Amino acid sequence: MSETSDPITARWPLAAPATADWLRELAGDGTTGFMPPPLPDAVWVLNAMYEHEQDTADVTYDEHHRAGVADGTVARHVVGGLDLTEAGVTTGGGLGRAGHPGPGWRRLRWAELAGRTGDAVVPEGLLPCFRCFPSVQKDGSWPLRIAPPTEGSLDRETWNRLVDVLAEHSPAGPDTRCLAFYNPLTLRDFDLENTHVRTGRLGDAKILYDNPEVEFSPSNLWPEDRSWLLGTDYDLWATKVAGPAPLVEALLRDPEIEAIRLPWAH
């Protein structure tokens, strides 16, 4: 198959499953992604959220959904004769790949929202997840004017920028040979025994974001020399990057990436 018709297979062919064995020894079970310890340092790269530039209403996603059901503009969700339409809460959050929502939306930094609300960027003892910014949410649902981060995957813009920064701090720059692991929860053919690893150039890593087999960025990415390790957990709103101090400091200073140290999850 040609590179043009299948760039993922051409540039990132499957690698031997055993190439991920060291991750189990380093970080334990990888069902939701391997979370690395400091190597020797670590930082959390936060998934992007966005705010509408003109919408100032506080109507939540759940309120909007229920109003749509009531007036018939939203179809009822019936499974096996059971109406699940109003079961649970429509939070506004998503799972998997994401990107800039388009015209009328601007990037909303976690630090900006924290300064506005008085909430911590990440509450002490927690990891970046749906429990962040409780004062913004109403019964677990976000206001329609904010597109919260998604779980389990970096957003496209942060992934692309992170690849560039990693290349600047890798032994052979964009030519650095890397491996990418996808946890079984991200694969369409769910199989806990399947160790799905691909190998390729770091300079070609941006195309992994559009891997048709998954709807997530890779769960883990690392160079062959293991000098750094990226870890994205299926249930979190951020990616942990472990590696040398200069890489961590570069991520903390980068104007496009929003990164934070979490001493309790270092």
pTM of the model: 0.92
Q: Contact at 8 Å (CB) between 224 and 177?
A: yes
Over the stretch 140-157, which tens digit does the pLDDT of each residue have?
999 999 999 999 999 999
Q: CB under 8 Å to 192, separation ≥6 — which residues?
A: 31, 184
For residues 143 and 197, give the distance between their C-alpha atoms in angstroms, rounded to a whole number.
38
**Main-chain phi, psi angles of 164, to 5 degrees:** -65, -45
Mean pLDDT of the chain: 92
The token duo for 263 is: 């001493």
Beta carbons of 91 and 151 less than 8 angstroms apart: no
pLDDT tens digits for 205-253? Answer: 999 999 998 999 999 999 999 999 999 999 999 999 999 999 999 999 9
Measured at the alpha carbon of residue 99, what is the angle toward residues 110 and 178, in degrees to the nearest 5?
95
Q: What is the pLDDT of residues 78-117, one digit of tens each?
A: 767 676 666 778 899 999 999 999 999 999 999 999 999 9
Where residue 40 falls among pLDDT bands split at 50, 70, 90?
very high
